[in-house]
Structure 1
Amino acid sequence: MEQSKSDQVRVDIEYCTVCNSKPQCIELSRLIKQRVPGAHVKCTTGRRGSFEVQINDTLVHSKLGSLAFPDYEEVIANVIAARQGQPVKKVKEQPITDCVLQ
């Protein structure tokens, strides 16, 4: 079954090479393509400290603003919503797992 243009979703991810964020971009891209076949995901090198995620030209996450990576499951949920013609919204940051209080 071929997708109509209205079903196609474009995800643009800008990442920082200085911070070595390419692996995160590749992983998020893989997860999106796995869960949302037909989504067009593009990873692009960008500004220092960046990991900016746009869905159909709407910014849903900015590492420059939050200093954290996005919650991948929320990004995927937004891609699914966009494919269904629903609005997208800002996503939460990934929980910090390497900080333990004692």
Structure 2
Amino acid sequence: MTVKVHIIYCGGCGYRPKFTKLKTLLEDEFPGELEITGEGTPSTTGWFEVEVNNKLVHSKKNRDGFVDSESKFKAVVTAIEQAMGK
């Protein structure tokens, strides 16, 4: 089963490079196993939200910040592994 990862990021804030970096890291961690999509908001929102199979697992608007540390990345990886049944 392919796990779906959807990332909503602030299009008005220039967060696309942060989305691209996280997408690349996840593709390296789970080669060929994920369907990763991204959506830039049309206005300034400050959002950087990560959903795994429609479940919110990381939220900048809920004070998680960016996925910019090993512990934050591992939390997303753990959520993906759980969705895979590992």
- Alignment TM-score > 0.5, same fold: yes
Give, in whole Å, the separation in 2 of the partners of 1:67 and 1:77: 16
Structure 1 residues 67 and 55, CA, compared in 2 at 3 Å: closer, same or farther? closer
1:78 partner amino acid: A
Structure 1 residues 69 and 36, CA, compared in 2 at 3 Å: closer, same or farther? same
Give, in whole Å, the separation in 2 of the partners of 1:73 and 1:35: 10
User: Deviations along 1:17-58, whole A, 9 cap, x unmatched?
Assistant: 222111111111111111112201101112611101100010
Shift of 1:73: 2.4
Match of 1:40 among 11, 35, 44: 35
Greater relative contact order (Cα < 8 A, sep 6+): 2
Instruction: Choose between structure 1 and 2: higher helix proportion.
Output: 2
The answer to whether residue 52 in structure 2 is matched with residue 55 in structure 1 is yes
1:16 alignment counterpart: 10
Secondary structure, counterpart of 2:12 in structure 1: coil
Secondary structure, counterpart of 2:14 in structure 1: coil
Shift of 1:77: 2.2
CA RMSD, 1 decimal: 1.7
Identity %: 29
Instruction: Choose between structure 1 and 2: higher strand proportion.
Output: 2
Unaligned runs of 5+ in 2: none
Unaligned runs of 5+ in 1: 1-6, 86-102
Structure 1 residues 82 and 67, CA, compared in 2 at 3 Å: closer, same or farther? closer
Alignment length (residue pairs): 79
The answer to whether residue 24 in structure 2 is matched with residue 30 in structure 1 is yes
Q: TM-score, normalised by structure 1?
A: 0.69
Q: Is the 8 A contact 2:46 2:60 kept in 1?
A: yes
